[in-house]
Amino acid sequence: MMLSKTSEYALRSLMYLALQATKEHKVGIKEISQELDLPMHFTGKILQDLVRKGLVASLKGPNGGFFLNHPASTITIMDVIKVVDGGEAFKRCGLGMNKCSDTHPCPLHEDFKVFRDGLARVFNQKTIHDLVQEVGTGHAFIKNLVEVS
């Protein structure tokens, strides 16, 4: 609702890379998509884009794959969102009005601003490193739970 699926996939893939990949041990699309339960080709597309934008590096061929181009502690959530969705999402009016500001507010402006800006602040501060730390300690998860039939 807040982030596009593309952003969600990008963030989870980056977390997976932060956890599993190094320049020496790269990780391929197949592994990422299988482990995170993501559509393979689409994930490939997204990773390609992240390479172009410089967040991720890649190498072709055997033992090829993806790995983070910079330390995970230097990549904020907002960096990723901006690269993938563009930076406008957190500026929009809650009611979609063309001009909505403190001086010409929509009736939802004040309430909405609090949450939108609060979330933006979190996204600007938290890095991929912060996120995976919780995964490392077992306090959080990035893999989907499998449905049992």
CB of 59: closest distance to a second copy in angstroms? 27
Q: Is 91 in the site for DNA (CB under 7 A)?
A: no
Q: Is 148 in the site for a second copy (CB under 8 A)?
A: no
User: In 10 A of CB 129, how many CB atoms?
Assistant: 17
Query: Which of 84, 50, 92, 83 lies closest to 67 in space, CA to CA?
Result: 50
Burial (0-12, 13-18, 19+ Cβ within 10 Å), 133 = middle
37 binds, among a second copy, DNA, none (CB under 5 to 8 A by kind): a second copy
Q: Is 1 in the site for DNA (CB under 7 A)?
A: no
Tokens read off for 44? 């490939």
Binding mask 92-111 for a second copy (x = CB under 8 A): x-xxxxxx----xxxxxx-x
